[in-house]
Every structure is written in structure tokens, then in C-alpha cells.
A and B are shown apart, each in its own frame.
Chain A
Amino acid sequence: MLTVLVANTKGGCGKTTIATNLAAACAGGGLATVLADADRQRSSLAWAERRPPNLPMIVALDWARGVGAVPAKTARLIIDAPAALKTKEVEELLALADLVVLPVLPSAFDETATRRFVARLDELKPVRRSRIGVAIVGNRVRARSRAAERLDEFLAELGHKVVTRLRDSALYAETAASGSSLFDLPVWRSRDAREDWTPLLTWIEASRR
């Protein structure tokens, strides 16, 4: 089983969008997928409950009050982390994770908070020993924009880089409303937005031992 923790430094970075689309990509790829929502807002859980039965199935778990059991034979576990992560929570969830995906929203880019968070991540043993990979995702970023440049510079200072940039697309809100995702749309409709995900998905797959 491969476990991906989707975490962020402050609310509104698109954590839930990333977690839900990632879960749908895995489920659509034929893998038994579980989406665990550790955020008290329970947005991922609500999305999963809206999911039509004809779409690839995702088992949703409510972890708002703590980590729970995961069904046997799960291939992919996607964890939507609490919005304002406290140190203890981070460590508990990191103990479960193989990989961390960290969305960053340039327009609401809080350099201080991000710096602090990444520093904390880097300090933790599993990350330090490179057992856990960290993928930073630029959310709602247009490549070659000032915002993208600034983000790249900032991350380079921290010794990280962006694994991919997800463009702003109406498809995200549209699909979220009906419990579906980019990956549930026909390829012709979502081709460009899907392309943004390829580097992240292949990075995740390549990280498997």
C-alpha cells in the first residue's frame, strides 16, 4: 500500500482539490483507493459522498477525530491533512505516509508560514533520511508568470523545487460539485488540465520501491 499525505501551511491552498483528484486518478487507474479525511471541515468526505456510483469507487474514511483503520487490500491511501497542522498531528500522519504532497497557492503565498512548515518537515527524521519524498505543487499557477518565478526562487532557497504547476481551471470547481474529478471526465475535455498532473503522478509512481 502506498500512502500519500496531502498537507499545507494554511487554508485555501487547494489541499482538498489535490487530495480528491489524486484519489480519483488512482481509482481510475484500477487501484483500490481510500481517501481519509483528517480535516475537521470534512470537505473530502463530503465530496466522496457525492460521488456517483458509476465512477471508479473510492472508499472514504472520517479521520477528523484521529487515525483509523484502513481496509485490507488497499493499494493507495490518500490522506487529506488537517488545515492547521499542529506538530504532533504532523508527526503522527507522517509516520503513516510514504510521500507528502504540499500545494502552494502563489496568490495567497505566505512565505513565512511555508518556510516554517517546510523547515519542520525537513527536520523530521523520516524526511531527513529521504525515506519520505516531498512534492511541492504550485496550485493555480501559470508557468512563466511572475508568481511562478517568485515561487521557484523561494523554493530553491529552501532546497526544494516544484514538482508540477496546476493551472487554474473551471473544471476543478465543476467536477468537485458533483463528486467527480478531472480524471472522470473524457480525456478530450480535460486534456490540458490533466497534463499538469502527469509529473506529479509519475513522481509518485517512481518513488515506489
Chain B
Amino acid sequence: MGSDLTPPSLATLVAPDREIELKLAAEPASLAALWAAPALADHGRPGPTRRLETCYFDTADGRLQRRGLSLRVRRVGRRYQQALKAGGNGRGLHLDRGEWEVPIDGAEPELDRLPPPARELLGLVLPGELKPIFTTRVRRQIRHLDAVEIACDIGEIEAGARREPIAELELELRAGAPAALYELAVALHQQAPSLRLETRSKSARGYHLAGLASAATARKATRLELPGDATVGEALVLIVRHGLEHVVAHAAVAAAGADPEGVHQMRVGLRRLRSALALFRDEIPAERLGWLKAETKWLAGALGPTRDWDVFLAETLRVLLRRRPQDAGLGRLIAAAETARAAGYEQVRAALADPRYSALALRLGLWVETGFDDDAGGSPRRRLPMRERAGRLLKRRHKRALAAGQDFAALSPDARHALRIALKQLRYAIEFFRSLWDDDIVAPYHEALAGLQDVLGHMNDMAVAERLVGALAAADSHAGGLVVGWHLRGREALLDHAGADWRRFAETEPFWR
């Protein structure tokens, strides 16, 4: 990786009140070795090494955190530096947030030193309201490239009696476009595959350690909005970026294993990504496309079994348990399922710790930032308006769905499964492109499709449950019989429902004509 040695021009410098950074984490020992290795000498000129002690503050009611702010005072030697950071929930792989940093006289925050925009974000904070929540102590070593500054932080976070180690590389963008961060990250990861993409800020980790992570800071899904005049190339970047961010944003929750949403949303994100790759296959260089398909398939496969157990436990077994709370056989079945689920989460954690995951995220992140341009440049078809093409793509998927659902009432389970897949592909395409049309003409079609998918989804959950019961062969067959019997009753009713929903969907006018 040869870096361009022309100094950044003023026009491309990142504004002083903005921070754009990408983080890679590793075990402290391997990070220390990487930093000391001659390979890193290729990357930039060494800078100073400092010991930093940083204290983070918030009000008793956690207002700053709830509003996505972090206020900290850092001691460097005998000097103090106060920083307010905003928008730190970072939806994407890299953090892009407001930052106001200023020297102050002591260890306590001095809100007067914040400029008006920062002050307004902070709101009214009364004297004595701010209290220290957690502290980080790190040894920071820096290397300077022209567009990027690399900081290696090794140390710990401390919140009350609890401590957690920190070992991270922070790549901060000084000038130019964020693609530079990803280029560097991909190169570093290739040299040191033990580096992992880290999307949580130190602040988020600190609040979590202090037991104060609020539900409000959990990432909210954003809706994809394509501008009406978007070109094919622009749409490709926006859609893939949205899908990638969705996957990466839920990795931490998936690894923690406490909330089924983590794995669920990662799988939804992966399905969307794969759907997008299919829609834009003519625009993505073949080699990259093949690699992406393989890697996303690998990751989805690693997450799949766990999702099945989550749904089985939460939907089927929970419902049954409510009706028969004393059933011992059911209790044993649940215990067996929970053991299987725990094993599934071990597999999830292993996959997310695997270099393959970070390699996928970082390389796809880089291609998104560079617009998928390869050395041959972009194909000229990328400059065509997306809307026209979107109509043709939707029509194709719509036709496939109709064909897959022919003779709906007589479909075999396999054929129903194929129909579900065709409907999902259609649904993702609708969601990608819907903002190119008026919401009120998209809505009826979208609703009819969603209604049908719901019913088919329930039926699929039943089929999966039966498969899982069979897999838990050692479990009580009486309880297994309960599950199957419960489903048999429900399935008849659902089939009738499904027929009506299918007719409704098949008869709804496509909106893209």
C-alpha cells in the first residue's frame, strides 16, 4: 500500500468540529506485537506516546447518553482537555460525529467553554449535576499518515469495581473521503487477521460496563430513501451500504446472546444484501460478486441454526408452556432446546470472531465508499436513472412470485417454501425502490404482500418446529407430540387464511406501471 505523499489541501480537511473514525480491536498482546512489527513502519511516521486518563460524565438521569452525547475530561500529563461528542451512536461501520474539544483548567467539566451549538445540544445542566460515570486509562501511540492518523490504545475501562481491557486501533480521518480509512483498515487486517471491526465507541462500552446502557441507545433501523433521480450507481451504493450497516450494527447484540433480535436482524440484513447483489449483478465486477456471495452465505449459514432455536423457543414452546405450565415432558423439551440454542450462540460468537467476518465487513465497506469502481472504472450503465430499471426489476420478481404461487391451495411444502423465497426477493426489491414512487401508490401493494408473507411465515415456523422436535430425539416424545398436535390444529386455519391472502396479493395492481 503506497500512500500518496502530497499533503492534504485545506479544502479536503475534515472540519475541526467533526470526527470520522474507524476502529479495529484486538487482544492486547497481539495488538502490541502488531504495533511493534516492522510491517507497521510502512504506514506513516511515528508520533508521540502518551498516557491518557479520561473521565466520562453524565447527569443522574442519564440525559446525555439518552441523547447520544458523551462528555469527557481527559488528563494528559498536567493538562486537561474537555470534549463533547454527539451522534455517537454511529449507524455505520465508521463513526461520523460532531466533536467539540477544548483545553480546560481542571478535572471538572467547564460547560462555559463549549461553543453555542455544542451548548445547545447539551441543554441545561445545573451546577453539580454532572457526575463521573466511568474512566478509561490507556497508553496511546500514534502514527501519522497524510489522510489518516492511527492511534493504538491499550489499557482499560473502569466503572466502579468493574474493569474491562481496551486494545484498539483508531483510524481517524484527517482529510479527504472516508474510503481512505477503509483502504488502510483492509491493508492492516490483511497483515494482522486478528484485528476485528469494532463498532462500539469507548463511551458505549463504558456505559454498558457501568450498567447504564439504555434501550434508547440501541440502534434504530433507518429507512432507506433513494432520491427520486438516483442513478443506478448511486442506488447500488446506498442500498448496499444500508444493508451492510444493518448487519454490522447488530453484531454486538448477536454476540451477547441475550436478545434474539441480534441474530435475527443480522440475518435479515444478510438476506437483503444478497438480494441486492442479485439485483445489481451486472454492475458489480464478477470476481467481487462471487466472493461476496460466498462470504455472505457463510455468515448467514453460521447464524441460521441459532435463529431457528430462538424462534422455536420463543414462539412454539412458550405458547405451549402457557397452556400447560405443569407439563414435565414439555419442560424437558424446553431444556433440551435451550442447550441446543446455547451451542448455537457459541457458533455465532465464533463466526463473529472469525477474521472472515471482519474481512467481509471491511472490504465491502471499502467498495461501498469507492462506489464499487474497480480499475476499469464504472460501467456507463451506472449513470442511467434507477427508476426505469427498478420498474423492470420489480416486474421480473413479481412475475416469478405469481408463477411460484400458481395453484396455491395445492402447493407442496417444498413449493410453498420456494414461493416464500420468491416473495422475499420481491419484498426486498420493493423496500429498496419504494421511495422512487409516491408512498400512497406503493402502500396497497406492499400491504397485500406483507399480509401474505406473515401467514406463510407462521406456517414455516411450524414446519421448522417439527423438524427441531425431531432433532431433539432424546427428548420426551409426548412433549414432541404436543408440539405436532398443536400445529396440526393451527395449520388448517392458517391454510384457509393463506388462500385468501394469496388471492388478495395476486389481484393487487402492481404500482410501477
Q: Do A and B bind each other?
A: yes
Residues of A within 8 A of B (CB): 2, 25-26, 29-32, 73, 75-76, 187, 198, 201-202, 204-206, 208
| Shortest beta-carbon distance from B130 to chain A in Å | 12
| Shortest beta-carbon distance from B98 to chain A in Å | 16
Contact partner of A30 (CB less than 8 A), chosen from B61, B66, B67, B111, is B111
B48 at the interface (CB under 8 A from A): no
Chain A residues whose C-beta falls within 8 Å of the C-beta of B67 in the assembled complex: 208
A202, B120: Cα distance in complex, Å: 15
| Shortest beta-carbon distance from A10 to chain B in Å | 29
Known: A29-B123, A32-B120, A205-B59. 19 other contacts (CB 8 A): A25-B124, A29-B111, A29-B119, A29-B125, A29-B126, A31-B123, A73-B116, A75-B119, A76-B124, A187-B127, A198-B126, A201-B124, A202-B61, A202-B63, A202-B129, A205-B125, A206-B66, A208-B67, A208-B123
Nearest 9 CB-CB pairs, A to B? Answer: A29-B124, A75-B120, A30-B119, A205-B123, A205-B124, A206-B61, A205-B63, A206-B63, A201-B124
Q: Main secondary structure on chain B at its contact with chain A?
A: loop
B124 & A26 in contact (Cβ 8 Å cutoff)? yes
Q: How many A-B contacts if CB must be within 8 Å?
A: 45
| Shortest beta-carbon distance from A169 to chain B in Å | 18
Q: Tell whether A32 pairs with B126 under 8 Å between CB atoms, given A202-B61, A206-B61, A208-B67.
A: no
Chain B residues whose C-beta falls within 8 Å of the C-beta of A204 in the assembled complex: 124
A31 & B120 in contact (Cβ 8 Å cutoff)? yes
B492 at the interface (CB under 8 A from A): no
Closest to A75 in B: B120
A31 & B119 in contact (Cβ 8 Å cutoff)? yes
Chain A residues whose C-beta falls within 8 Å of the C-beta of B61 in the assembled complex: 202, 206
Chain A residues whose C-beta falls within 8 Å of the C-beta of B126 in the assembled complex: 29, 198, 201-202
B114 at the interface (CB under 8 A from A): yes
Pairs across A and B, CB under 8 Å, 5 listed: A30-B111, A30-B114, A202-B63, A206-B63, A206-B66
B112 at the interface (CB under 8 A from A): yes
Chain B residues whose C-beta falls within 8 Å of the C-beta of A73 in the assembled complex: 116
| Shortest beta-carbon distance from A14 to chain B in Å | 21
| Shortest beta-carbon distance from B45 to chain A in Å | 40
Closest to B59 in A: A202
Closest to B127 in A: A187
Considering residues B59, B116, B123, which has the most beta carbons from chain A within 10 angstroms of its beta carbon?
Answer: B123
Chain A residues whose C-beta falls within 8 Å of the C-beta of B112 in the assembled complex: 30
A132, B63: Cα distance in complex, Å: 19
**Interface hits, B51-80 → A, CB 8 Å:** 59, 61, 63, 66-67
A117, B181: Cα distance in complex, Å: 58
Chain B residues whose C-beta falls within 8 Å of the C-beta of A205 in the assembled complex: 59, 63, 123-125
Closest to B119 in A: A30
A73, B120: Cα distance in complex, Å: 10
Closest to A209 in B: B67
Considering residues A25, A30, A32, A202, which has the most beta carbons from chain B within 10 angstroms of its beta carbon?
Answer: A30
A32 & B116 in contact (Cβ 8 Å cutoff)? yes
| Shortest beta-carbon distance from B197 to chain A in Å | 30
Chain A residues whose C-beta falls within 8 Å of the C-beta of B129 in the assembled complex: 202
Chain B residues whose C-beta falls within 8 Å of the C-beta of A201 in the assembled complex: 124, 126
Chain A residues whose C-beta falls within 8 Å of the C-beta of B59 in the assembled complex: 202, 205
A59, B212: Cα distance in complex, Å: 38
A100, B449: Cα distance in complex, Å: 44
Contact mask B104-145 → A, CB, 8 Å, 1/0? Answer: 000000011010100110011111010000000000000000
